């Protein structure tokens, strides 16, 4: 920043790019920064060129970007998450590579791959991306795709609001990506604690990028929670009372409740920090009556429910796959429902364990420590129920089961280390050490990433009509498990040896063997990322041999497996009448699951609209303008958002009608195809004989 504000460009000038830093001083840090920016630019150019060459701009706009279909919105959320996952894992690799070369001396303390300020940006963007723009879009995308189908609904309760929520999330992600090329990101970690992140200690655009990315995407997440809750309460198929919902729907309900009550705390804390930075308020400053502990409390009132917002959908996935791939009913359904709701409630009572060391009385610390230990009980119930489900089942070692096995092995360790940290006296010894870093990665990666990747593998055929390659899927899962073990288990040891987290350098040579092991693990995580994308590519290349037009490749028991693959826009030719918990499974037991409806009716679906896309553009413009103090653009973008909302409210929008004849033709074609396909046994699931029509004589779920 030049210190002078232009009326047109605000604080923007030619000195805010990493290329300027490279020209000013060529070193490994500036080379890494300029290289990362170049990858972003070249990737964007390549993407635009590819879409232009393939002439996909029109189909992309008509069929995806303007579609209010929850299934397509879910897929777009997941694509966004996978793009951000690539950056997040690469940044994690750079962090590990830096620390593996960061042994310094008392006379030359700065060492390693990148400069200390660059290192601080790396761990700040890494945490922000992985929490808000990988984990959140993954779970919201999966819920969007699966939830209406499992409920027997055609779409979400508010389809256009769903589109707007995606646009706001994408706008937040865009701001984080732009910070790679224009300006710098904040250096206060993913929590951005004041007073360090106030304008006195952190002038410039870095913290503002974080604030506006979080505020905009957080609004989208809050709206998503409302949409999920209304969908579950009001859009269930006839006969599907609450205790007939699949476990994934129950965990989605828990997520909806927590999003509604937890996300406003993040919005409030971020807005208060915005007022501190932009309007000279003193909520969190050292002077004038400010108190940063207010920020810590408000932020973590969101922050700990957020952990379970991330994990509970994965628990729902594990409930589905443990039953399906064991060929058994889910054990302990009622106890799993109670455990899920218990976790959702108790998660709001444990936030203070994130700062035991920050001045509370012993009595307060003890109360929150006990609450933290209690929340482990319903989590343990879930693990025992999944193991009981698999006990004496016909377990098929598919990629989702490999992820589940990795979860069993690793998440329990992460949970036990969490119980250790719940003891305030122990927490005082390891707080802000790499022991803590190991703990939360030990919970988030097996508990969230494995669950989401297992869910993608499980429901991928329903979205695209072909299975993912099992061989490469298992290799990817094993690489993620092995990469995690080598990367993060050494951090427990380093934390007990006294190494602080976020250390850009250190002088203790005893750390180095463990740092080298962690660096090897980071290489394995990079290989896992490459393997994941190769799985998608090789599966697409072999999609004809992996096609499952019958729609039920895993012999499932919930409603989504009754439709074709890929699932049509309307999902069901008629809304099903539910008579049992696993209604599709009960139809299989009755011997005639593919019975055609008695009659077909016209189906009313929401019309395509660019509303979400336009609000996303306005939100991105607002965030960027506020970061760089481009006030005219900020005002225009801010006014555009309510203007677009009002414009839509004033228009009469006709729904899209799919005629009964069209629905009947598509449904009869599907049923004829099912009748012509040979049923596949469980032994055939990974072979070309699996065309999505299971041998229902084997169904024992």
d(CA 303, CA 325): 34
316-336 residues labelled b (16+ CB within 10 A) or e (exposed) = bbbbbbbbbbbbbbbbbbeeb
Instruction: Report CA Rg, the chain.
Output: 25
Six-digit token string for 175 = 């701001």
Q: State how far the Cα of 592 lies from the Cα of 581, in Å rounded to an integer.
A: 17
How far are the Cα atoms of 7, 213, 516, 581, 625 from residue 202, in angstroms, in the given order? 23, 17, 33, 55, 19
Of the pLDDT bands very low, low, confident and very high (cuts 50, 70, 90), residue 151 is very high
Q: What is the pLDDT of residues 64-88, one digit of tens each?
A: 999 999 999 999 999 999 999 999 9
Enter the DSSP assignment of 15: G
Q: Can you tell me the mean pLDDT for 439-463? A: 97
Q: For residue 410, give every residue at least 6 positions away whose Cβ sits within 8 Å of its Cβ, in sequence order, or none.
A: 442, 445, 446, 481, 484, 485
pLDDT given at position 106:
58
| pLDDT at residue number 592 | 81
Distance CA 247, CA 254 (A): 11
SS3 content of the chain, % helix, strand, coil (to 5): 70, 0, 30
Q: What pLDDT, in 10s, does the model give residues 649-701?
A: 898 888 999 999 999 999 999 999 999 999 998 888 999 999 999 988 887 65
- Percent of the chain whose pLDDT exceeds 70: 98
Q: Which two tokens mark 679? A: 């049923």
**Is residue 43 scored above 60 in pLDDT?**
yes
For the residues of 621-649, what is the DSSP string, one character each? Answer: HHHHHHHHT-HHHHHHHHHHHHHHHHHHH
* pLDDT on residue 109: 61
Supply the angle between the helices 434-444 and 470-496 in degrees, to the nearest 10: 160
Q: Which of 422, 284, 285 is nearest to 352 (CA)?
A: 422
Token digits for 320? 């589905």
Beta bridge partners of 656: 605
What's residue 451's pLDDT? 97
Q: What torsion do the CA atoms of 250, 254, 256, 260 make, to the nearest 10 degrees? A: 160
Task: Compute how many other C-beta atoms are within 10 angstroms of the C-beta atom of residue 174.
Answer: 21
Cα 117–chain centre separation: 27
The per-residue b/e assignment along 222-258, b for 16 or more CB within 10 angstroms, e otherwise, is bbbbbbbbebbeebbbeebeeebbbbbbbbbbbbbbb
Residue 3, pLDDT above cutoff 60: no
For residue 484, CA distances in Å to 81, 399, 445, 478, 494 come to: 19, 17, 8, 10, 16
What pLDDT sits at residue 463? 96
Q: What pLDDT does residue 1 have?
A: 42
Name the average pLDDT for the chain. 94
Name the pLDDT band for 108 (thresholds 50, 70, 90). Answer: low
The pLDDT of residue 2 is 44
Per-residue pLDDT tens over the stretch 332-374? 999 999 999 999 999 999 999 999 998 889 999 999 999 999 9
pLDDT tens for each residue of 456-486 = 999 999 999 999 999 999 999 999 999 999 9
How much of the chain, in percent, has pLDDT values that exceed 90? 90
pLDDT over threshold 80, residue 247 = yes
Domain spans of the chain, in order of start: 56-541+565-578
Residue 217 · residue 168 · CB < 8 Å = yes
- Which of 13-17, 156-160, 487-491, 617-621 is predicted least confidently? 13-17
By C-alpha distance, which of 71, 232, 150 is closest to 583? 150
SS (HEC) of 206-262: HHHHHHHHHHHHHHHHHHHHHHHHHHHHHCCCCCCCHHHCCHHHHHHHHHHHHHHHH
DSSP-derived 3-state class of residue 361: coil
| Terminal CA-CA length for the chain | 63
- The angle that helices 206-234 and 611-628 make with each other, rounded to 10 degrees, is 150
Report whether CATH 1.20.210.10 matches the domain 56-541+565-578.
yes
- Mean per-residue pLDDT for 531-554? 96
Give the H/E segment covering residue 657.
strand 656-658
pLDDT at residue number 651: 87
Would you state the pLDDT for residue 155?
94
How far, in Å, CA of 86 to CA of 71, rounded? 23
Check residue 14 and give its pLDDT: 86
Closest-CA residue to 318 (of 450, 165, 495, 205): 450
179 burial via Cβ count (<10 Å: 0-12, 13-18, 19+): buried
Q: What is the pLDDT of residues 617-644, one digit of tens each?
A: 999 999 999 999 999 999 999 999 999 9
Instruction: Note the pLDDT of residue 701.
Output: 58
Closest CA to 452 of 313, 307, 554: 313
């Amino acid at each position: 920043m030049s210190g002078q504000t232009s009326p047109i460009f605000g604080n923007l000038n030619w000195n805010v790019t990493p290329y300027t830093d490279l020209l000013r001083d060529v070193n490994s840090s500036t080379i890494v920064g300029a290289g990362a920016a170049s990858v972003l630019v070249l990737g964007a150019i390549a993407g635009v060129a590819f879409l232009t060459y393939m002439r996909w701009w029109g189909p992309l706009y008509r069929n995806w970007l303007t579609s209010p279909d929850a299934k397509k919105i879910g897929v777009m959320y997941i694509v966004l998450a996978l793009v951000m996952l690539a950056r997040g894992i690469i940044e994690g690799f750079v962090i590990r590579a830096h620390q593996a070369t960061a042994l310094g001396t008392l006379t030359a303390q700065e060492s390693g791959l990148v400069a200390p300020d660059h290192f601080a940006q790396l761990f700040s963007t890494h945490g922000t991306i992985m929490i808000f723009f990988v984990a959140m879009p993954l779970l919201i995308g999966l819920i969007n795709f699966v939830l209406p189908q499992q409920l027997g609904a055609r779409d979400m309760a508010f389809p256009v609001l769903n589109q707007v929520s995606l646009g706001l999330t994408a706008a937040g992600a865009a701001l984080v990506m732009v910070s790679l090329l224009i300006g710098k990101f904040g250096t206060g970690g993913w929590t951005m604690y004041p007073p360090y992140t106030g304008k006195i200690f952190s002038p410039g655009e870095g913290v503002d990028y974080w604030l506006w990315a979080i505020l905009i995407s957080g609004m989208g997440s809050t709206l998503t929670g409302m949409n999920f809750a209304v969908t579950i309460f009001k859009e269930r198929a006839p006969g599907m009372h609450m205790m007939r919902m699949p476990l994934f729907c129950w965990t989605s309900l828990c997520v909806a409740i927590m999003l509604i009550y937890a996300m406003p705390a993040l919005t409030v804390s971020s807005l208060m920090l915005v007022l501190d930075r932009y309007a000279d308020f003193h909520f969190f400053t050292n002077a004038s009556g400010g108190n940063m502990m207010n920020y810590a409390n408000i932020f973590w009132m969101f922050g700990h429910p957020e952990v379970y917002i991330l994990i509970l959908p994965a628990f729902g996935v594990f409930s589905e796959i443990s039953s399906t791939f064991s060929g058994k009913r889910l054990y302990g359904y009622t106890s799993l429902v109670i455990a899920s709701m218990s976790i959702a409630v108790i998660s709001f009572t444990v936030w203070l364990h994130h700062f035991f060391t920050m001045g509370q009385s012993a009595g307060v610390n003890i109360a929150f420590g006990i609450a933290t230990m209690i929340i482990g009980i319903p989590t343990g119930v879930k693990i025992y129920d999944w193991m009981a489900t698999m006990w004496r089942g016909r377990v098929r070692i598919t990629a989702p089961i490999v992820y589940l096995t990795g979860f069993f092995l690793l998440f329990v360790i992460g949970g036990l280390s969490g119980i250790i940290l719940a003891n305030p006296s122990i927490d005082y010894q390891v707080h802000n050490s790499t022991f803590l870093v190991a703990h939360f990665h030990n919970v988030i990666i097996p508990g969230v990433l494995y669950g989401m990747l297992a869910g993608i593998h499980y429901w991928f055929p329903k979205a695209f009509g072909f299975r993912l390659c099992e061989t490469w899927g298992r290799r990817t899962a094993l690489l993620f498990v092995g990469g995690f073990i080598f990367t993060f288990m050494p951090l427990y040891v380093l934390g007990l040896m006294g190494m602080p987290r976020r250390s850009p350098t250190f002088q203790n040579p005893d750390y180095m063997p463990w740092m080298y092991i962690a660096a090897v693990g980071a290489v394995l995580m990079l290989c896992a990322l490459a393997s994941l994308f190769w799985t998608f590519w090789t599966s697409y290349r072999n999609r004809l041999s992996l096609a499952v037009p019958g729609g039920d490749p895993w012999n499932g028991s919930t409603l989504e497996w009754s439709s074709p693959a890929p699932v049509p826009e309307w999902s069901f030719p008629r809304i099903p009448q539910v008579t049992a918990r696993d209604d599709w499974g009960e139809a299989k037991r009755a011997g005639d699951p593919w019975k055609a409806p008695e009659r077909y009716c016209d189906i009313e679906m929401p019309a395509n609209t660019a509303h979400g896309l336009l609000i996303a553009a306005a939100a991105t413009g607002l965030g960027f303008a506020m970061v760089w103090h481009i006030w005219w653009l900020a005002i225009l973008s801010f006014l555009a958002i309510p203007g677009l909302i009002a414009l839509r409210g004033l228009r009469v929008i006709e729904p899209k009608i799919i005629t009964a004849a069209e629905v009947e033709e598509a449904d009869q074609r599907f049923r004829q195809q099912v009748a012509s396909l040979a049923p596949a046994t469980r032994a055939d699931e990974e072979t070309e004989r699996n065309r999505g029509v299971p041998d229902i004589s084997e169904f024992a779920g």
